[in-house]
Structure 1
Amino acid sequence: MNHIVILTGAGISAESGLGTFRDKDGLWTKYDLNEVATPEGFARNPDLVHEFYNARRTNCRSAQPNAAHAALARLQAEHSDRVTIITQNVDDLHERSGTTGVIHMHGELSGALCAACDHRWTAPQEMSPNDLCPSCNRTATRPDIVWFGEMPYRMDEIYQALSNADLFVAIGTSGNIYPAAGFVAEAHAVGTKTLELNLEPSTTAGTFDSAHFGPATEIVPRWVSEILGAP
């Protein structure tokens, strides 16, 4: 196995205490996504949006990487060829487990963005609509997160990786959010083998060549050991 491209979704971080969209009584259920995860919602009520992402940032900083994150860091370090990690997640648990070069297609909780001049910087723990951009000094700061209706980051890079991958693996993804849900089709189009690792079948499960289901902390380390040929 040569170049491996891995897409991770919320399911890989769920066992670290970071809820998915579908978790009952999770953080997402307390907010209307149209109000906190769209440009229109931010324009209507920036205080609410900052409140939501401040809570997510606090939640993220108290979470710890789990065995699935550690296994992917091990794979990247020990695999004989390239391992590209693409994530839909906005947490930094991959990086804290030792993975490098992670492509955050939906942005990062640790980042701040100026809507006026596109300047980016490290977000403070608490953001507010009154924060000044350190570059243009305007009060147009927002979380550096890709909201619904916005174009994900680094798509050219992602499609290039998919076009020369030998194996595409989706871990903990729902298959509901595009363009990520279409990556398996992109991989198939160039003859790449595909694998789903998930707690339960995603909505695109039938399009993968093979799949293993179960908790990420169990199935991801097992798969990595198989790839590396080590216990």
Structure 2
Amino acid sequence: MSNPVDDFRNVRRERIGAQGQNSELKRSADAFMHQSIPAGYSYNFEWLGRPIIQYPQDIMAMQELIWTVQPDIIIETGIAHGGTVLFHASMLQLLGGDRKTVSIDIDIREHNRKEIEAHPVFKNVTMLEGSSISLDIVDAVFSLAKGRTNPMVILDSNHTHEHVLREMELYAPLVKKGSYMVVFDTIVELLSEQASADRPWGPGNNPMTAVDAFLKTNDRFVPDTEIDNKLMFSVAPRGYLKCVKDM
């Protein structure tokens, strides 16, 4: 006798696979991305009252990952207005138990810090101010992660190749088989130079080039292409990296 829950999931998996081969749908998704980024589309959304600066598709993908992986600690680089801090904290509180969020930014602006710390889901959050690749910050993160059995790492700070590659090298050892290291804004590689003309990153120097370089020397992680096929448009294509091997 078939199981209707499994049947639904199997049909969904087949549909997602077919989407990855749908060239017309992919062209439409690419067109939306190229039009929506200069329009500032990602700045339109909030999570529990704080700007989250993400595409809804990526927020949905992250909640699926967190619910499936059930990490006991999430380490994220990049805080901005704090929406992702509260998103991760609220998801971990839904999971219950002893779980923690560690959020890092080189400049936590005082008005943002005040709003984040006053939020009702802020408990079990630690914010660290400093460069995510400085040894003192890395040491602090590893200290906070000590004894944790299932960390998840999310990288969304400085988007230059050198910085992101170094973040990946430093924080990848925390991630265990079955969990994820998610690298945001890999989309920069697929955009025009004008899209990042006022930034120190751009085509040829961005998170996607860092991911490609990292994967050449690290076989513990693989891009989760099912997520890419599911979302169709995302700021993190090939950036959802699943850990498939233990250290």
TM range (shorter): 0.3 to 0.5
Q: In proportion to residue count, which structure has more strand? A: 1
Structure with the larger RCO, 1 or 2 (CA within 8 Å, 6+ apart) = 1
* TM-score, length-scaled by structure 2: 0.37
Q: In proportion to residue count, which structure has more helix? A: 2
* TM-score, length-scaled by structure 1: 0.38
